[in-house]
Chain A
């Protein structure tokens, strides 16, 4: 079975490629990239998808941070619906966080997630394991078993480990197993009861704040523990200017560290909570910060201090979010808006080159988590995303593929739409002939 993506702009930073041409896929693998275009006459029987120079053909996107809610919270999202939503956003692979019910803290739950993932219709799903039993602060989970069963990393996301001693031991195991520890950096004694960034806006709205220092203090400690243990620390959802500074320092100091930023943290500020009239879809952890933080996160992505972009896709049911602001759960959906926001907010504004954006969304995550995708090299699995840079569309929460409707971007005009996603040579999402408004 041969598939040819014809005439698109092929951008693959993993091999320094940016050229208009054809991408030839054979039996689920990339056969070759043909700059300038292949001789179709020599390809009888191939399926051809016609593209133009407005279409950017890139390695399938990889999201290293999402919440798929299964097992246990299937009313919010399932592995199947999450996988489909991810595919609609251009993602070929997503890494799901362990805060399910029960949490992914045993090999049995890893196997369950991988089993469900096999029949998922869109993106590949790979689990991240909890470092402690029940995502608590005390007992270590069986990390060697978890990794052998197929977990690709260990994390404390959603329930940040507070005891330095516990975290040290978890990181020592991560070092031995060769998997990254993904840290949600938050000193919860500084954020208790908080529901937005602490600052001028929280004061005006009378909402309890979560100070930037809660993230920065935990991050500083975690960097020092990475230095001690030799584990690779991957910093989840960097949201403050000084966090970026700390990571810059750590990289200079030779600490093994990488970092991700989320589209909402480079697009929105805490003013969104006020402007939206306490709309609970703006409630997220870490919270939306200030304009200075947004600028620092963008700079960090541009200069490589922050390695990649992740969504922290966190779907919730409508009835859970349709409540008083302090009572609503944290989180927003992100798969289906991430690529468009990256293109609109970072590429079109000149903050990132298109190649750097692709690197942030695909190549870098593959490298950090030692995954097979993130490249269009001949012989690699055919994971491909196509972005139509000419399409302008308005985010409409009612048209999301995800079960979650909790997006703060509802009604926002963006440029650039994911139109084709291929996973292992199989087309899992195709909106080439659909205008975005009818999606």
Chain B
């Protein structure tokens, strides 16, 4: 059973809840394989996607998931300037709730904003990525994908490579993988490794080779050009030389059945070589497909239960 009305992060979820969400998502996959991908489960319900940051894949994934379940969707993209001036976040939420929103999907550049929202509105909130904090639906879809590919999560050795400091995907994945019994190694340049990561149970490296050795799963994070401009990286060229994931490095350090994951969008030739991106062991498209099923599962569980997600 899901123990909560909101999905704000994987840190607070139990392994049993995660398992239950993944199992529900597996059953949603069957709907996606039908010739007519539509079920009436959430007919008459309205899902509002409120995105304060640009996003293509996460937003369309949520909207598709809602539409397949027959929910109506409204999509709001407040100009980012209104965060600083103009209508407050609080008032925006209350306005959209008054219009009949049954569930909010929120992306925000401020860490903690979805939690803030959950204290203001009386309907469920799903965090679609908040600042550098968490991106729980990404974390869950990654677990769903890996479980399908490997047949298990427990005992896997996962290495997350790149800009850990600014990555909400990394945070959610650290919690997700460790809770499900995998071990996590983190690696990146020291300027992109935040303080105190060891407290999560993960091991931290600044050199790629020891972090990659024997990894069952290599999770590659997107590297942003801004990191160079803000003085955190000397150059992308050097980053690629030190941390880029190439077939040679994988062949030398990892087992033959290694799996490579990436949250997208990929910078080919920077954090991941084109050969790896296109290889069979790189499951990026499976991740995207599973994203729809996983989000269907969450919408269904938060809105479709006997109490309909209302208090």
Contact = CB atoms under 8 A, between A and B. Distances in A.
Contact of A326 (B11, B110, B194, B196): B110
B198 to A, nearest CB: 8
A325 B111 contact: yes
B88 A206 contact: no
Contact of A327 (B110, B130, B168, B199): B110
Contacts of A327: 83-84, 110
Interface stretch (B39-47, B113-121, B248-256): B113-121
B108 A324 contact: yes
A338 to B, nearest CB: 28
B119 A277 contact: yes
Contacts of A202: 194-196
Contacts of B262: none
B274 interface: no
A388 interface: no
A209 B195 contact: yes
A209 B166 CA distance: 12
B232 to A, nearest CB: 13
A230 to B, nearest CB: 37
Contacts of B90: 322-323
A277 B194 CA distance: 21
Most chain A CB within a 10 A radius of its CB, from B111, B116, B134, B199: B111
Given A319-B88, A327-B83, A206 B111 contact: yes
B281 interface: no
Interface string B217-229: 0000000000000
Interface string A174-201: 0000000000000000000000001111
Contact of B111 (A200, A207, A319, A323): A207
A49 interface: no
Nearest to B171: A206
A247 B5 CA distance: 50
Interface residues of B, number: 27
A207 B132 contact: yes
Given A207-B131, A278-B116, A326 B111 contact: yes
Contacts of B11: 204
A292 interface: no
Interface in B74-119: 83-84, 88-90, 108, 110-113, 115-116, 119
A208 interface: yes
B85 to A, nearest CB: 11
A324 B110 contact: yes
B157 interface: no
A205 B194 contact: no
Interface string B168-203: 100100000000000000000000001111011000
Nearest to B90: A322
Q: Which of A198, A203, A323 is most buried by chain B, counting CB atoms within 10 A of its CB? A: A203
B67 interface: no
B295 interface: no
B111 A203 contact: no
A324 B83 contact: yes
Contact of B132 (A199, A206, A323): A206
A205 B133 contact: yes
Given A198-B195, A325-B111, A208 B132 contact: yes
Interface of A: 198-209, 277-278, 319, 322-327
